[in-house]
Amino acid sequence: MAQIPTSLYQNIAEDFDTARSTMLDVPVTILTAVNRIVDLTTATTGALGFEINLLSPFYSTYNAVNGITTSSAAWLAGVRAINNYVIDNSDVAVSDALASFVNSIWTCVPTYWAALSEDAGFDITEWNVCS
């Protein structure tokens, strides 16, 4: 089979990198909403009622979203598939194939893409990862 075009790999990796970065911000945003409820003062008419009725469901939402977004498990099948495709279709030694490929695309590999690749079991020690 032919090697995946570098532009396609780059676009997919950058899409995953952006999505992962964005998702990690979601719990922070939801926690801000929770804190708005917690920070109500008695000067706010109905504050105690708002806190009693809203705090638990909003905090439950935060916990659920935080659990989903902090785990990389849902991302790994796609990361493994594309990285294994690169390795399987490379003319370079298996141990060097992925590092050679990604380093040929970027001056530095996007941080979250590198982290997801490492979580998926790939050795990224030779990657030029952005700091």
Q: How many CA atoms lie within 13 A of 87 on its CB side?
A: 14
Give me the tens of pLDDT residue by residue for the chain, a chain 131 residues long.
799 999 999 999 999 999 999 998 999 999 999 999 888 776 778 888 888 889 999 999 999 999 888 888 889 999 999 999 999 999 989 889 999 999 999 999 999 999 999 999 999 999 999 98
Nearest to 82 by CA among 6, 24, 30, 27: 6
Predicted TM-score (pTM) of this structure:
0.78
Domain ranges of the chain: 6-16+74-119, 22-72
Q: How far is CA 44 from the centre of its chain?
A: 38
- Segment 39-71, tens digit of pLDDT: 877 677 888 888 888 999 999 999 999 988 888
What is the spatial distance between Cα 87 and Cα 69, in angstroms, rounded to a whole number? 28
C-beta separation of 117 from 79 below 8 A: yes
